[in-house]
Amino acid sequence: MRETNQQGRPLSIAAAALAMIVGCASGPVAEPAPERSPDALATALTPQQSSEYYVDQANRYFDTLDTSADPNSVPSYSPLVARWELPPWLWLTGYGRENMILTTDLAVELDPSTVPTRDCRAFAVQPFARCYVTFEYEAGSCPIYEEFVFNDQGEMTFIEAWSDQPGLLPMPDPADRWAEGEDVRRLSTKIPGLGNETGLIDLDSDAMVLAAREDPEVADFVRRAKDFWPAWLEANQEAGPDYFARGCGWME
């Protein structure tokens, strides 16, 4: 994992002088976090928890999809947590804490799985947790790449998943294994509000309307979030009966 430098806002001369005086007396003084717009993007956030925390939360998420895991091991979800799964999966597959728990339980009931292989790592920029995992189904193994965005409180606000198959990952450069390049295709860093103090988004905010007008993927997310179950059924029908086989690489 590569470290990235973080830069805060410049201190005024007076504030800098005060920091030097206090620092000499009592050690380093942390700079206050900058104020953020209600429409800030997730990239405005810096980690407020330890690396171990973010990795643990990602693993707790996969525990909810693993029939062999402790059923009491669950992540800390934001009230408006969203899960966006790129094709051949079904786009928006969870929106809101209660809906996320329900849809996850339904997924495990319909297609029981374990997740024995996991490589989760923490990063200094959003998404703060990123994982390569392999689901094991009765029909076979299913490798997945997944990312997790968090708010300042350590709650999971956005989950984004791709099949770990040629041509389906978000990073154009195969050497960019952990999606750290500038050309990575992800939705989580384009949603207004994920970078505010709580990570709670407003589907009807002026910033969201503008973002949806300029970005078809943001517009599609808003449409599905506003009408979750009909949109989910629509995606299920459009995906066809073999989307699992395509997403997991079971097609011959």
Q: Domain 35-248: give its CATH code.
A: 3.10.450.50
pTM: 0.86
pLDDT of the residue at 36: 81
CB neighbour list of residue 45: distance below 8 Å, 6 or more residues apart: 126, 150, 151, 152, 195, 199
pLDDT of the residue at 33: 55
Question: Distance between CA 90 and CA 166 in Å, rounded?
Answer: 19
pLDDT of the residue at 25: 35
CA torsion, points 220, 225, 229, 230, in degrees to nearest 10?
Answer: -40
pLDDT of the residue at 11: 36
pLDDT tens digits in sequence order for the chain, 252 residues long? 443 443 333 433 333 333 333 333 333 333 455 678 999 999 999 999 999 999 999 999 999 999 999 999 999 999 999 999 999 999 999 999 999 999 999 999 999 999 999 999 999 999 999 999 999 999 999 999 999 999 999 999 999 999 999 999 999 999 999 999 999 999 999 999 999 989 999 999 999 999 999 999 999 999 999 999 999 999 999 999 999 999 999 986
Domain extent listing, the chain: 35-248
Q: Report the interhelical angle of 228-239 vs 216-226 (nearest 10°).
A: 120
pLDDT of the residue at 17: 35
